[in-house]
Every structure is written in C-alpha cells, then in structure tokens.
Structure 1
Amino acid sequence: MCHVIVTCRSMLWTLLSIVVAFAELIAFMSPDWLLGFPRSDSSVSRAGVDSRDYRPSLGLYSRLASGFWQAAMLFLAAGTLVLGCVACISIFSLCFQSILKKSIFNICGLLQAIAGLLLMVGLMLYPAGWGSEKVISYCGPEALPFRPAQCSLGWAFYAAIGGTLATFLCAVLSAQAEIATSSDKVQEGKSLICLL
C-alpha cells in the first residue's frame, strides 16, 4: 500500500525544485547571454528604405568563443543535469520518504547544494571569456575578461543567476520539508495524508 504524505513545506520544495530545474534549462539553452551594441540594418522594402535597429546576441555555446566558455558550459550543464534529476526524484518524494534508509529530502538537498556550486562556478567562468576575439567583434575592442565594453548582459544570464540562488533556497527548504513530513503531527494523521 502506497501512502502520500503532503505538507505545505514538502509541496513548496517539490514545486520550487521543478521550477528551478526548468529555469536553469531555459537559461542554458537561450542565445541571449550577451547582447551586442545596437546596430542598424538597412533593407529595401516596397515603400523605400526600412532601417531597423537590432542587437546581436551571443549564447553560451555560440561556437564556444573561448576555453572559459567551454568550461562554463560543462559546469552549467552538469548543474542543470543534477537539478533535472532532483526534480524527477522530488515528484517521488510524495510517495517515498527514504531511499536506502536515507531521507529523500536530505539526499536531494545535498544534490541541490552541489548543483548550486557547479552553477556558481559556471557563472563565474562565463565572464572570464569576454576577452576572446568573437566577443571583441561583437562588443568592441575594449572588451576584456569581466568587462563587456559596449555589450550588455542578456536575460538568460540573469535567469541563470536567479536559478542558482533559488537552487540554494531549495537546498535549505529540503531540510524544512524533511522536518515537516517526519513530525509527530504528520505521523498521527493531523496533516494531509492520502492513502492509496
């Protein structure tokens, strides 16, 4: 017989774990990490000349501009993979409270902390590659490591930072979810318990 133990803290941790994994995956896959300075594109239309401003962007793996970006991509991919695994396991935490007699919340919290560290290293390596020739061609000759010159950071970089901070929050919430599901009130059925 399977029983489902759901508390507010365990549900919050499960949902936030899933959201964080998706946020990091979307940020990782996005090309909008570094936005070039505005340029104009003149194209001839039927009504005459149409001039539009656009900002070229460089994604994390945009032909891997430097060795730093290669390393950043590996760390970010590893962190995102760990978060994806934790998100899948967190769904099962509603039915199973332990794996090999260890709390599923504590194991996942540890994995989330490790993923957060991997993501943090990747996010610190990314700006170190801004001195590469490809970035200089997009951002101008003043571009140096940790100084993007005429470029600006795109939403994907900020989403990755937010996801990393939320990853550490999830690691802390996992301990609270463990406390909530193992309390005496929950075991006595004074909290939501569904029996299947």
Structure 2
Amino acid sequence: MCYVIITSVSLVWFLCTLVADMLVAVALVTPKWLIGPSSNLSGGATPTSGSGSQRQPSVGIYTRCKQMHQLGYHCGRFDLDGFATDGSVYPLEWKLAMFFMSLGFVLLSLTVAATLLTCCRQSAFGKSIHNMTACAQVLSGITVMLAMFLHPLGWRAQRVQRLCGTEAEPFYPADCSMGISFYCGLLSILLTFAAAGISLKAESSNLRTRVRRRVEAGSKFVCIP
C-alpha cells in the first residue's frame, strides 16, 4: 500500500535542495562572475539600457557580455566549439569549472526528485533513500566547490586581463568586481551541505511514532508539522 508522508522537516529539506539547485543553475548560465569597470567600455562611456540602468562588461563560466562596435551591447556564450575552443579564448580552468558545475547541477537536480520520492518510499534496493540522497548532495556540493575554485585560476587569461587590467591573476581580479553569479555559487554550496544534514533529520521525522500511528490507522496521506 502506498502512503504519502509529509513533515515540516522533509518540506524544509525539499525547499533547501530546490533553492540550491536553482542557484547552481543561475551561477552556471549567467555572465556575472566578474564585472569589469566602466572605463573598459568602448569610448570610455557606459552604455545604458532603455530604462537608464548601467551596463558593464562581464564574464561567467561559459557566457560573457561585452560592447561590440556593430552589435552594441551583446551577451552570449563564448564559442560554439565549447571545450575545443583555444585556451586563450576559453581557459582550460573554465572548461573544467564548466564540467564540474554542470555535474553538480545534474546531481543536485536528481536529489530534488529524490526528496519527493521519500514522501512515498523510505528505502530502495535495501538502502535508505535519505542516506543515498545525502551522499549525492555532499558530492554535488564538492563538485560545485571545485568549480568555484577553478574559475579564479583562469583569471590570468588574456580575456580577463583585457577586462580587468593586466594585473589580473589567479584570485586577484584587479579592477574587476565579483558579480551576483559568483555569490549564487557560494550560497548554493552552503545550502547543498545544509540539505545533506537536514536529510538525516527528515528520515527520523518520517519514522516518528505519530507518523506510524496515522499509517496504522489507515491514513494514506499523513501531514505532520
């Protein structure tokens, strides 16, 4: 017989995992890791959007925004060749960061589905789904952490030095500033490890006496704070 069990702890676990997954996606696809100074724009002027908001050149793991003479302010990914792109255009460290960030995103997305599965099943193949999900979340957090470490190692690239100044080097962005994408990555790591810890509490909450009594009474949907 199938039961659906939802507790406040399991709900927090799901939301924490979901938010972490969304933050990884934001860090992966947005170009706001390094934001260049306004002086690096064409003609020394700062282009603005129609609403008057300031636009500055920026770069991410696989996307960038820059001022182009004919196309104006343009955002997009580096090259269609991706990992085959020359290291002077797309540094090797960023290629590795892209791989680990993508791997972390896939793993974390799978754990989002697993958190929903635990509402109906507590084990699979003789193993606790909560424990397996926690291990996957820890692994996901480690891979995203590796990506966060690898990206600054590529700051010696010519692309970064043109954006931030010739003084740019690993872990020193020179005239650039850290953008929202970088902080989304950091926050996703914290939430991922927090979710892994909450999973253990979520398992015990699903096995509480109050839950068992409701199940034994014939309730197929159990929701307990």
| C-alpha separation in 1, matches of 2:182 and 2:166 | 22
**Matched residue type, 1:41:** A
Provide the residue aligned with 1:114 in structure 2.
139
Deviations 1:56-86 (A, max 9, x none): 0002114363111111111111011100111
- Aligned equivalent of 2:192, options 163, 167, 182: 167
Is residue 2:145 matched to residue 1:81?
no
| C-alpha separation in 2, matches of 1:143 and 1:19 | 32
**Matched residue type, 1:7:** T
Provide the residue aligned with 2:58 in structure 1.
57
TM-score, structure 2 length as denominator? 0.77
Q: Report percent identity of matched pairs.
A: 32
- What is the CA-CA distance between 1:42 and the residue it aligns to? 7.2
- What is the CA-CA distance between 1:104 and the residue it aligns to? 1.1
| C-alpha separation in 2, matches of 1:8 and 1:194 | 18
Deviations 1:111-163 (A, max 9, x none): 00010111111101111110100000100111111100000111000001000
C-alpha change, 1:52 and 1:21, in structure 2 (3 Å) is closer
| C-alpha separation in 2, matches of 1:20 and 1:84 | 9
Aligned residue for 1:189, secondary structure, equals helix
Aligned residue for 2:31, secondary structure, equals coil
C-alpha change, 1:35 and 1:109, in structure 2 (3 Å) is same
- What is the CA-CA distance between 1:194 and the residue it aligns to? 5.1
**Matched residue type, 2:90:** A
The number of aligned residues is 187
C-alpha change, 1:10 and 1:142, in structure 2 (3 Å) is same
- What is the CA-CA distance between 1:168 and the residue it aligns to? 0.3
| C-alpha separation in 2, matches of 1:133 and 1:42 | 22
**Matched residue type, 2:151:** Y
**Matched residue type, 2:190:** L
- What is the CA-CA distance between 1:178 and the residue it aligns to? 0.8
C-alpha change, 1:143 and 1:42, in structure 2 (3 Å) is closer
Q: Which runs of 5+ in 1 are unaligned?
A: 44-50
Is residue 2:183 matched to residue 1:158?
yes
C-alpha change, 1:38 and 1:2, in structure 2 (3 Å) is same
TM-score, structure 1 length as denominator? 0.88
Is residue 2:156 matched to residue 1:131?
yes
Q: Which runs of 5+ in 2 are unaligned?
A: 64-77, 79-88
**Matched residue type, 1:59:** G
Contact 2:38 2:45 in 1 (8 A): no
Provide the residue aligned with 1:41 in structure 2.
45
- What is the CA-CA distance between 1:41 and the residue it aligns to? 3.1
- What is the CA-CA distance between 1:52 and the residue it aligns to? 8.7
| C-alpha separation in 2, matches of 1:108 and 1:74 | 21
How large is the Cα RMSD of the aligned pairs?
2.1
Provide the residue aligned with 2:11 in structure 1.
11
Aligned residue for 1:6, secondary structure, equals strand
Contact 1:42 1:52 in 2 (8 A): no
- Aligned equivalent of 1:149, options 154, 174, 184: 174
- What is the CA-CA distance between 1:189 and the residue it aligns to? 2.3
Runs (4 or more) in structure 1 with deviation over 4 Å come to none
